[in-house]
Amino acid sequence: MSQKRGLGRGLEALIPSTRDPEQGFAEIEIDEIRPNPQQPRGDFDDEALAGLAESIRSLGLLQPVVVRPDPEGGYFLVAGERRWRAARKAGLSRIPAVIRTSDDREWLTAALVENLQRADLNPLEEAAAFQQLLEDFGLTHEEVGRRVGRSRAAITNSIRLLGLPASIQSRLASGELSAGHARALAAIEDRAFAEHVAKRAVAEGWSVRQVEDAVRLRRGENTQAPRVREVRPAEIIELEMRLAERLGNKVRVDFRQGKGALRIDYRSLEELEKIYRRLMS
């Protein structure tokens, strides 16, 4: 069984260094941390928290929370309340935290991006760092990609790895599965079937192509004959691109005979709220 890496040698490199002994990186007793009383958000999706707690039990907390000292003792959360709640649900007694004496988020965002560009991270640690920039600092997929020199699609595909079952994430973190295998498995909506495919892929040494074929077979697609690609109007493709850039999420427009449907992918209620605000602005 692979060892839980938790924050890991790689992601620890993302924590900005400081000479101030009251700032920097530390592991803190979870009961010493309290939510920010001015945090406007009060609702957290129980199902999403349970999934994150399952991942934390398997791999540890990949993304540190950000806290500031409370003059009366303990710490207030600056960012990461969802992870803090999930860590409590997972039974952790201590969690990694970045300690700041102020809420200087712009400084921390810039430092995380700068260190992310040179840190040696495994695919899950990298995805966790991208997700932290989205979740804690309000960046879009497009903005994260621009800051770290990746395409928006590359950021989206990386973050999708965090939605995989914990058992598959463990195989990815240990190197039993590659990022290519994991990206193919992320396309399977049936989590039990995804775990079955992952287990066979490891046991039988499947290539990425073999995993992709298993996904296509599950969907009833022919893996032998080349697929005839649908010819889509250029203006529809352009509209998709503009919507994706505007919302920072994957967008699909299905168009046939003058009518169709619009699909916008999101991974959490926070993302859905951001999409709503952008559509209403």
Predicted TM-score (pTM) of this structure: 0.54
Euclidean distance between CA atoms 66 and 81, whole angstroms:
9
The pLDDT score that the predictor gives to residue 17 is: 47
Confidence of residue 228 (pLDDT cuts 50, 70, 90): very low
The pLDDT score that the predictor gives to residue 72 is: 83
19 has pLDDT over 80: no
- Looking at residues 110-135, what average pLDDT do you find? 74
The pLDDT score that the predictor gives to residue 178 is: 92
Confidence of residue 129 (pLDDT cuts 50, 70, 90): confident
Confidence of residue 125 (pLDDT cuts 50, 70, 90): confident
Q: What residue segments make up the domains of the chain, in order of their start?
A: 8-160, 234-280
Radius of gyration of the chain (CA): 20
Phi, psi angle pair for 14, to nearest 5°: -80, -15
Residues whose CB falls within 8 Å of the CB of residue 26, separated by 6 or more in sequence, listed in order: 96, 97, 99
Any idea what the Cα angle at residue 255 is, between residues 215 and 281, rounded to 5°? 100
81 counts as catalytic: yes
pLDDT in tens, 42-87: 556 677 778 788 888 888 887 788 888 888 888 888 777 888 888 9
CATH number assigned to the domain with residue range 8-160, chosen from the 4 options 3.30.420.40, 2.60.120.260, 2.30.30.100, 3.90.1530.10: 3.90.1530.10
Percent of the chain scoring above 90 in pLDDT: 11
pLDDT in tens, 146-176: 888 888 898 998 989 988 988 999 899 888 9
Higher pLDDT among residues 209 and 260, named by residue: 209
Per-residue burial over 202-231, b if 16 or more Cβ lie within 10 Å, else e, is: eeeebebebbbbbbeeeeeeeeeeeeeeee
Per-residue burial over 146-183, b if 16 or more Cβ lie within 10 Å, else e, is: ebbebebeebbbbbbbbbbbbbbbbbbbeebbbbebbb
Euclidean distance between CA atoms 133 and 15, whole angstroms:
13
pLDDT in tens, 180-196: 999 999 888 888 899 99
Percent of the chain scoring above 70 in pLDDT: 76
Selected catalytic residue, list 32, 81, 143, 204? 81
The pLDDT score that the predictor gives to residue 103 is: 58
The pLDDT score that the predictor gives to residue 71 is: 83
Q: Could you tell me the two tokens for 9? A: 């040698």
